[in-house]
Copies of this chain bind each other. A is one copy, B any other.
Amino acid sequence: MTESPETSAADPGPHQLQGQVVFEDAEYLDAVVDLLGAIAYGELSAFERLVDDAGLAPSLRDKVEMCAMASLEFGHVSRLHERLVQLGADPFDAMAPFEAAIDLFHAHTAPADWYEGLIKAYVGDGLAADFYREIAAYLDADTRDLIVASLADTGQASFAVRHIRQAIEADPRLAGRLALWGRRLMGEALTQAQRVAAERDALTALLAGGIDRPGLDLAAIGRMFTRITERHADRMAELGLSA
């Protein structure tokens, strides 16, 4: 069992002003714009990768199912964009700072076959979702709800679990290679997350807290990564793989 984020969010309650959503704290607003931009670009590139990886599908039926999950994922992008506009931000400017890191993640984790693509769709998406949900716990309720909805599983989990379990049953040697692949996804995700953390001051300031917002000390950040790692292990176990 994994714990949920350890401190409940202070709510730096935004207020509405002539259709715009306004936060008093400019630094907080920067962090929210960063976060929504990162998630939107992540969803867009996950969509592109899923459609691309669907080309590896062994049957037309599997390909269509993967494209359907991708399309649902894309639907989240426009909702994130709407919110960014409400916050007075340009959605494309907000996404731009995260292009390099997310593109590198995908360049370094191009699946060699259909099974690696499935695991990436499930495990990679799950990792990103866990990470963003941890951060969302420090945000106002509206932003948190939007983020949680944007990260909803669009069917990858059960689809991947079903196919991977069947494949390993048919060829048990596959399990070793796919377990290594899961570790590589985790390693590459951490590398890129650290890169983003080093570059985006507003996001790290958010985690450090503010005058009237609780933050995370080093021990709490350690526990957060422990939770993310445990959930990753749970997903690998669900696939029948060691983490």
Report A's interface with B, CB cutoff 8 A: 41, 44, 47-48, 51-52, 54-55, 59-61, 63-64, 67-68, 71, 74-75, 77-78, 81, 92, 95-96, 99
Give A74's nearest chain B residue, CB to CB. Answer: B71
Q: Nearest-CB distance from A33 to chain B (Å)? A: 15
Q: Is the CB of B74 within 8 A of A48?
A: no
Give A73's nearest chain B residue, CB to CB. Answer: B71
Q: Is the CB of B67 within 8 A of A74?
A: yes
Q: Is the CB of B52 within 8 A of A64?
A: no
Q: Nearest-CB distance from A149 to chain B (Å)? A: 18
Q: Is the CB of A67 within 8 A of B44?
A: yes
In-complex Cβ contact of A55 among B48, B67, B81 (8 A)? B48
Q: Nearest-CB distance from A165 to chain B (Å)? A: 22
Chain B residue numbers with a CB within 8 Å of A59 are 92
- How far does the alpha carbon of A54 sit from the alpha carbon of B52 in the complex, in Å? 12
Can you name 19 A-B pairs with beta carbons within 8 Å? A44-B63, A44-B64, A44-B67, A47-B51, A47-B67, A48-B51, A48-B54, A48-B55, A51-B51, A52-B52, A59-B92, A60-B92, A60-B95, A60-B96, A60-B99, A64-B77, A67-B77, A68-B74, A71-B74
Chain B residue numbers with a CB within 8 Å of A55 are 48
Give A51's nearest chain B residue, CB to CB. Answer: B51
